[in-house]
Structure 1
Amino acid sequence: MVAVKPEATGVGLNNAVQKTSTFSLTHSERQVLIAILCVLLVVRILAMFWYPFVDSTEARYAEIARKMVETGDWITPQFDYGVPFWGKPPLHTWMSALGMKIFGVGHFGARFFFLIASLGLLWLCYVWVRRVRGADQALVAMAVIATAGLFYGASAFVVTDMAMVLGTTMSMTGFYVCLTDRSAHRLWGYLFFVGLAVGLLAKGPVAVVLTGIPIFLWIVVGNRWRQLFRLPWITGLLVTALIALPWYLVAEAKTPGFLNYFIVGEHYKRFLETAWQGDLYGSAHARPKGMIWAYGTFTFLPWSFFVLALMLRSKQVLDVLRKDQAGWYSYLFFWSLSPLILFTPAANILPAYVLPGIPAAAILLVTVWSNVFGPPGRMTRLWGSLSMISVAVIVLGLATVAFFLPNTLNVKSERELVLRALEASPDIAITYWADRSYSAEFYAQGRVGYLMDPDGLRALNTNNVRDALAVSSQDIPNLRDQLEAGFVDVGRFGRRHLFIEPSPQ
């Protein structure tokens, strides 16, 4: 955290919104904070170029987007050529595909619009917090969001979650301003409904649920039912439908069965059935129920330690919360807990599921901290700055090592193997034994085959093209005779050895 000075608390025009700024940064503190954020942004952009796509999540979504660019089919994402991907709506695929269309097929293009989405989310949070709590507190809150471990990692990562979190954040900020500030422009109300549409196109109905949980709890606890009429419900829902509904209808018409699989399978069975066997695109991520709370603590590092410090001052924290006239703290509290509440009974989860609550958790931490601790002094300022800088150093270090010494980190990426095979011959046919690799497909532009039959290895020696074979180390002993008969071991690249058919004389 940075040094702060308490100021007088004011009240908004409607006596509901707390127009308060408990933060008062010095000019030098603002400069330092902005400089740290700029360094973090530069580091993240460098990592976008350097860090390879890894199996399976990011590489899979990047390859789906690459296929969209290659085939020109912008309606149905494809898991394989001609095989529709029903697992998620297409917004994340559109973002990657558009980036690759503009900047070329590669890391930067695939990740570019995810970085733009994360920057847009940070800007929206800044505008919102500045409106309610003041510019200095908004700047610190934005810095805490940006440097939370999971958010920083996902800020330029090809995955569905960042696009969805942008949508849920649009909805939550728009809803609060619309209900608590009569002087607010009506666009804040429409922002709520546009955010719902973004969430529906990014990850589906789960985005609506993640928005609905904290809003419902906040309305019930504060008995704010009458305030709901301030939202433009009729025209707003029409906006949501006009943005999101057309793709769902066209997708079902083009590939019948999509809605049943996506709604029932992905939104019910995946989360409640531990042994669900209906996943068409991989395996379910079975975890102990309640594991989402551990993920929440871990993914909010380094700021989880500051939350612990607040917990040790529980009496002061409760005193602050009792003075919550505008429902600011309770709104942020329910919002930050929303993914934890939703996924506590879930049987199949990932750490990324915590992401929708991180903006609220960061803002809540900053605003409560300023009232409990007051001016935090030199040590808090020092630890806050070190926390943000450490994030940049760790990410830059990992990205650099992954680029120059990929095998050192055992990165689950096939980039080096594919590039080595293509170096032997641009027209080489690359085949993977047993396991599918999405990163290999991406770097080989989709020109990857798969084998599970030992007899198929002999057939590779009889075709009219030069072949390369990728085999995991554990499978080599079982295939030694076939490999020695027609291939040369070029070396180990990450988890696999590359075998190449000798060049014809």
Structure 2
Amino acid sequence: MLALAAIALAAGLGLRDPSPPDEPRFVLAATQMVESGDWLIPRRGSELYAHKPPVFMWLQALAYQGTGNWRVAFLLPSLLASLGTLWLTWDLARRLWNRQVAGYAAFALLATLQFGLQAKRGQIDMVLVFCTTLALWGLMRYLLCDGGRNALLWGGFAAGLGTVTKGVGFLPLLLLLPWWLDRSRIRRDAGAATLAPGLWPWLPVAFLAGVAVWLLPMLLAVAGSNDPMLHRYASDILFRQTGTRYVDAWHHVRPAWYYLQVIATLWLPGALLLPWLLPAWWRRIRRGDRRILYLVAWSMLVLAFFTLSPGKREVYLFPALPAMCIAAAPLLPGLLRKAGVQRTLIGYVVALGLLLAGAGTSALADAGWANRIALERGLDAPVLQSLATWLVVLGCVLVLLACWARVKRAAIAVVGASLLLWTIHGLALGPALDADSSARKLMQDVRTRIGKDAELGLVAWREQHLLQAAPPVFEFGFEKDFDAQWRDAVAWLAEAPRERWLFALEGVARECVDPARLIPLGRSSRREWVLVPGSALLPGCVPGVPEANVHEP
């Protein structure tokens, strides 16, 4: 299982650059850590980056120091975390049931769309899920298996480390709630484990040890500094980016039923089996199966936790996926013998193949539709044609796989489809989009236009632009208001108009420049960008100041 997963999930490693939405941001911070030697407080350009703790960026920076290649390093933590999560899923299912059930659990997780998608991305969430699964592994082992203290300590430490990886890493501790509600039944069952009184203090100690990996040195650095920016950073990341973001989210606001949509799409093909799984889980829970009870109850608590927050993203629910696969695993041998389940799964493979082949065929046959998509995404026509061709190839292969497997081998077809999907994604689809989606081609074009020695200033930039820009490069803040960035940039450009240029969002570059001298760069990140030469500046003009007052003392 691990060998097959490694082949599919590692396919394409080193063949593409970081792409939005999140990858360039983390790689930019990791790059600055390596270059500056300051690993404690991450930065985004000249500003402190307070949206996420730096643990994931540490891993990327360490991977770079080990490989010397950012294209490999930025994806390596997610790849290793995905393989580790698969092993933890397998091992916990083996301890709770047996090796056969463990195999079903691991392959069920590998076949789920969201797992492969996150394993192929350089984002925090796969590492977070490794931490939460490790914590769940430790707590479940302690409560239901051998009851060893080491398992409890691993669970607490992993939950703490997950919390400083991404704030919700504490979620596995919610497992203690269904255990507590079930405590009276546990006491009556001589064969069930209970938390020994002497071990209770060790769980919070282990949790705090995991949190202290980053939080303790950060707080010590803040306490010993008079820098107001550092104090604002600590307040922002500890309060605004955690509690305030959960209670009063300012973006990604979604309706309460949003995660039902996530389950119905990103948790395919497992979501298709819920009509069989839900009643089977209920029957086992009524018969007193605490393994199913704890796994399902904890997953429902995670769902409720994120549903209560107005801010919702599809990745928030991801930590519950391994637990659901483990809970489903003991039922899968029986379910996969049912004709209805077999037809449903083989239908999923056929539908996925037809969907991919149909999308690719439409792009190849309808030039107008393809051009609109290319224009909206900032893609060249040959790139879109290559992408469409690969979609047709992949879709046809999946349909042929389903025809070979037929109904009796539906489970093999589902796993094979997943392996093929992520292999071709890594080797063909991702690299085909790379030059455009990573902004590498755009920033190479900029450097070609201005010359290798010219100074470039960035205004209203995105992380991929700074990451891909060849030096010398300057920026005027990221979270700063665009108008304030433009004022600083115009003053900077005016100091040496012959040697300096500005790369700016089209709508921002409007004051104090001659529109006829702006150089359009096209569309990237769904926005239009322009290049502003020093010769485009209007003499004596100051952004935001009426022209009549420019020369007044």
Q: TM-score, structure 1 length as denominator? A: 0.77
Give the deviation of 1:166 after TM superposition.
1.8
Residue deviations 1:171-210, cap 9 Å, x none? Answer: 211112212234x543222221221222122123x322x1
Report whether the alignment pairs 1:387 with 2:414.
yes
The secondary structure found in structure 1 opposite 2:14 is helix
Gaps of 5+ in 1: 1-33, 277-283
Structure 2 CA distance for aligned equivalents of residues 381 and 436 of structure 1? 53
The secondary structure found in structure 1 opposite 2:164 is helix
Distance 1:427 1:383, change over 3 A: farther
Distance 1:355 1:380, change over 3 A: farther
> What residue number does 2:181 align with?
220
Give the deviation of 1:308 after TM superposition.
3.7
Structure 1 CA distance for aligned equivalents of residues 287 and 504 of structure 2? 63
> What residue number does 1:484 align with?
516
> What residue number does 2:40 align with?
75
Give the deviation of 1:380 after TM superposition.
5.8
> What residue number does 2:158 align with?
195
Report whether the alignment pairs 1:353 with 2:316.
yes
Preserved contact between residue 317 and residue 372 of structure 1 (Cα < 8 Å): no
Give the deviation of 1:416 after TM superposition.
1.8
Structure 1 stretch displaced more, 445-454 or 98-107: 445-454
Structure 2 CA distance for aligned equivalents of residues 196 and 231 of structure 1? 20
> What residue number does 2:444 align with?
419
Residue deviations 1:411-449, cap 9 Å, x none? Answer: 4x322212333345334434445x331111222278353
Residue deviations 1:77-135, cap 9 Å, x none? Answer: 12332x33232222111111111222235221122122112211211221221222222
Structure 2 CA distance for aligned equivalents of residues 381 and 70 of structure 1? 56
> What residue number does 1:9 align with?
none
Give the deviation of 1:328 after TM superposition.
0.9
> What residue number does 1:25 align with?
none
> Pick from 435, 452, 475: which aligns with 1:449?
475
Residue deviations 1:318-374, cap 9 Å, x none? Answer: 43443344x111111023223211011111121110111010111222222334555
The secondary structure found in structure 1 opposite 2:503 is strand
Give the deviation of 1:228 after TM superposition.
2.0
Distance 1:475 1:75, change over 3 A: closer
Report whether the alignment pairs 1:286 with 2:253.
yes
> What residue number does 1:100 align with?
64
Residue deviations 1:35-66, cap 9 Å, x none? Answer: xx645533432344234322332221221111
Question: What pairs up with 1:54-133 in 2 under 5 angstroms?
Answer: 54-81=19-46, 83-104=47-68, 106-133=70-97
Give the deviation of 1:405 after TM superposition.
4.7
The secondary structure found in structure 2 opposite 1:469 is strand
Distance 1:120 1:224, change over 3 A: farther
Structure 1 stretch displaced more, 235-244 or 99-108: 235-244
Report whether the alignment pairs 1:429 with 2:429.
no
Give the deviation of 1:223 after TM superposition.
3.3
Distance 1:239 1:366, change over 3 A: closer
Give the deviation of 1:230 after TM superposition.
7.0
Preserved contact between residue 87 and residue 266 of structure 1 (Cα < 8 Å): yes
- Aligned-residue sequence identity (percent) comes to 19
Preserved contact between residue 113 and residue 266 of structure 2 (Cα < 8 Å): yes
Distance 1:492 1:246, change over 3 A: closer
Structure 2 CA distance for aligned equivalents of residues 141 and 250 of structure 1? 39
Structure 1 CA distance for aligned equivalents of residues 463 and 164 of structure 2? 23
CA RMSD of aligned residues (A): 3.4
Structure 1 CA distance for aligned equivalents of residues 498 and 14 of structure 2? 36
> What residue number does 2:503 align with?
469
Distance 1:42 1:418, change over 3 A: farther
Structure 1 stretch displaced more, 167-176 or 101-110: 101-110
Give the deviation of 1:381 after TM superposition.
5.5
Q: Give the letter for the 2:95 counterpart.
A: R
Q: Give the letter for the 2:38 counterpart.
A: D
Structure 1 stretch displaced more, 259-268 or 65-74: 259-268
Residue deviations 1:363-421, cap 9 Å, x none? Answer: 222222334555777756633333333334444555524423558xx74x322212333
Preserved contact between residue 457 and residue 500 of structure 2 (Cα < 8 Å): no
Preserved contact between residue 56 and residue 437 of structure 1 (Cα < 8 Å): no
Structure 2 CA distance for aligned equivalents of residues 373 and 136 of structure 1? 14
Q: Give the letter for the 1:253 counterpart.
A: L
Structure 2 CA distance for aligned equivalents of residues 456 and 235 of structure 1? 54
> What residue number does 1:148 align with?
112
Give the deviation of 1:467 after TM superposition.
3.1
Q: Give the letter for the 2:231 counterpart.
A: P
The secondary structure found in structure 2 opposite 1:419 is helix
Distance 1:430 1:304, change over 3 A: farther
Report whether the alignment pairs 1:159 with 2:123.
yes
> What residue number does 1:207 align with?
169
Q: Give the letter for the 1:369 counterpart.
A: L
Preserved contact between residue 489 and residue 500 of structure 1 (Cα < 8 Å): no
> What residue number does 1:297 align with?
264
The secondary structure found in structure 1 opposite 2:269 is coil
Give the deviation of 1:492 after TM superposition.
5.1
Distance 1:455 1:231, change over 3 A: closer
The structure with the larger Rg is 2
The secondary structure found in structure 1 opposite 2:195 is helix
Q: Give the letter for the 1:429 counterpart.
A: E
Residue deviations 1:3-37, cap 9 Å, x none? Answer: xxxxxxxxxxxxxxxxxxxxxxxxxxxxxxx4xx6
Residue deviations 1:213-239, cap 9 Å, x none? Answer: 233123314536761227833344334
> What residue number does 1:13 align with?
none
Structure 2 CA distance for aligned equivalents of residues 73 and 178 of structure 1? 39
Structure 2 CA distance for aligned equivalents of residues 286 and 390 of structure 1? 33
Distance 1:253 1:222, change over 3 A: closer
Give the deviation of 1:253 after TM superposition.
3.5
Preserved contact between residue 165 and residue 355 of structure 1 (Cα < 8 Å): yes
Question: How many equivalent pairs are there?
Answer: 445
Which has the bigger relative contact order, CA under 8 A and spacing at least 6? Answer: 1
Q: Give the letter for the 1:389 counterpart.
A: G
The secondary structure found in structure 1 opposite 2:475 is strand
Structure 1 CA distance for aligned equivalents of residues 142 and 281 of structure 2? 27
Preserved contact between residue 454 and residue 479 of structure 1 (Cα < 8 Å): no
